[in-house]
Amino acid sequence: MHLLFSYGTLRLPDVQRALFGREVPTTPDALVGYRLGTVRITDPRVIATSGSDEHPILVRAGVADQVPGACLRLDDAELAAADAYEVADYARALRPLASGAQAWVYLAATEVTEAAGEPPRTSA
């Protein structure tokens, strides 16, 4: 199982049903050191799934900043479905959460750098 931190549309029941075929139980958590920005989505498939062409995106900020969200427990196929849903503006990376758990998080692709054997995973 994979832990995926969501701060946006992946928490929406309609999006979860469309991507995963089910509503995914979530656990509240937060990501420290980031704030929310927005990104304009142009992919019609993503807009149709989420119902919006404006999505939140994480941007590195100060240590006092924090973004609330929720952790989803996904299997390999569900994580792949989440990757396919996210547009190229996002990159998935492991980050520590406020709870101490390590989770995959979709950051702004420009914020992800190669670190300690963790190459950035950008969406297609």
Domains of the chain: 2-122 (3.10.490.10)
Question: What DSSP string runs through the chain?
Answer: -EEEEESSGGGSHHHHHHHHSSPPPEEEEEEETEEEEEEE---HHHHHHHS-SEEEEEEE--TT-EEEEEEEEE-HHHHHHHHHHS-TTEEEEEEE-TTS-EEEEEEEGGG---BTTB--EE--
Q: What is the pTM of this model?
A: 0.78
**Which of the listed ranges 46-50, 61-65, 82-86, 94-98 does the model predict with the highest average pLDDT?**
94-98
CA 77 – CA 98 distance, rounded (Å): 26
Categorize the per-residue pLDDT at 117 as very low, low, confident or very high, splitting at 50, 70 and 90. very low
* pLDDT at 11 (0 to 100): 93
Categorize the per-residue pLDDT at 48 as very low, low, confident or very high, splitting at 50, 70 and 90. confident
Residue 121, pLDDT above cutoff 60: no
